[in-house]
Structures are given as structure tokens and as C-alpha cells.
Amino acid sequence: MTAEERLLDRLQDPETLHQGFGELVNEYKERLYWHIRRIVLNHADADDVLQNTFVKIYRNLHGFKGESKLYSWMYRIATNEALSFLKSKSRRLGVTEGSYTEMMAEKLESDVYFDGDDIALQLQKALALLPEKQRLVFNMKYFEDMKYHDISEVLGTSVGALKASYHLAVKKLEKYLTHGDVL
């Protein structure tokens, strides 16, 4: 029995649910935080989305059927929560999602929680200019070192389409970072 299977057993038993959920949070909070943070680009927003993600996970544990890996299911929830947050925030501000993401990328320099150097800052700004799907695929493949099969489970997209999205993202990022061209 794998560690994930043991955790699932604890999560499905009312006697050990709370202990199991605590273990789940401890095991996945950092990875989910950084996954969300790369989407919303802001520490406070990432914390809020992470909280909403764990609430949604807790409320829907009974619906997890094991058709995918637990972390794939949680990443899908985290991704959807982060994208919904961006849509909602951009609507409230009366701007497009792309414009909102660009605004957030510009604010990274003043974010006390951003500890990257100038190159990391330029990469984040360039990533903000990518189409949503390419940005998600690049983040999951490059930063989170996920396999295409796992990304496919999270995003519900074929491996071939993911490889194409990643390749396009890399080409656009190279062009932007070497020539400063708009993506």
C-alpha cells in the first residue's frame, strides 16, 4: 500500500478524517501554494486561493473516486480556483484577464515575498504575457517538474497538445527574453 493509499484510507474513515486531512494539508500545502502563486502572482492572493482550495478539497473528499492520483485531483481544484480568482478579480477591476496578469507581473518588483533576481523577474513578466494554457503548462513542466501524463490529468488535455503548448511557450519566452519582443 502506497503512502497516498494510506492517506486516502484515513480520509475516507470518519474516525481518522481530521487527522488525515491535517496530513494532507502538511504534505501538499507548499506545492499547491507555489502552483497557485505562479498563476495569481501575488502572495496574499495565493494564500486566499490556497485556503479556498483546501476548503473545496475537504468538502469534496467524498466525491474523490480514485480515477486519478490524489495530487492530480487537488492540482485540478487548485488550478480552477486560481483561474476563477483571476477571472473574478479582473472583472471587478474592469480589465481583461491578460491585462490583470500583466499588472500583477509589473508589481512583482515591489512584492516583499518575491525573492528572485532580475532574470527571475523578467521571466515572470514574460510568463504573464503568455496565453493562459501555455503559461499553465510551462509552469507545471518547468517549475514543478511534472510529467506530461500528470499535467494531462490536471488540465484534461492530451499529452500531444501539452507538448505543443510547452514548445510554443519556450519559443515565445526565448524570443521575449533575448529580444524583448512582445509575445
Say what the pLDDT of residue 108 is: 59
Secondary structure class of 115 (helix, strand, coil):
coil
Which CATH code, of 3.40.50.970, 3.30.70.980, 1.10.1740.10, 1.20.1090.10, is assigned to 1-115? 1.10.1740.10
**What stretch(es) of the chain map to CATH 1.10.10.10?**
118-183
DSSP 76-115: HHHHHHHHHHHHHHHHHHTS-HHHHHHHHHHGGGG-TT--
DSSP 73: H
**Using CA atoms, how far apart are residues 159 and 156, in angstroms rounded to an integer?**
9
Q: Per-residue confidence of the chain (183 residues) as pLDDT tens digits?
A: 888 889 999 999 999 999 999 999 999 999 999 999 989 888 899 999 999 999 999 999 988 988 888 999 999 999 999 999 988 987 887 877 677 777 766 665 555 555 566 777 788 888 888 999 999 999 999 999 999 999 999 999 999 999 999 999 999 999 988 887 655
Say what the pLDDT of residue 141 is: 96
**What stretch(es) of the chain map to CATH 1.10.1740.10?**
1-115
**Using CA atoms, how far apart are residues 139 and 150, in angstroms rounded to an integer?**
13
Q: Which residues contact 154 (CB under 8 A, 6 or more apart)?
A: 72, 75, 76, 79, 140, 146
Q: What angle is formed at CA 44 by the lines to CA 55 and CA 173, rounded to 5 degrees?
A: 105
Say what the pLDDT of residue 183 is: 54
Q: Which CATH class is domain 118-183?
A: mainly alpha
Say what the pLDDT of residue 139 is: 93
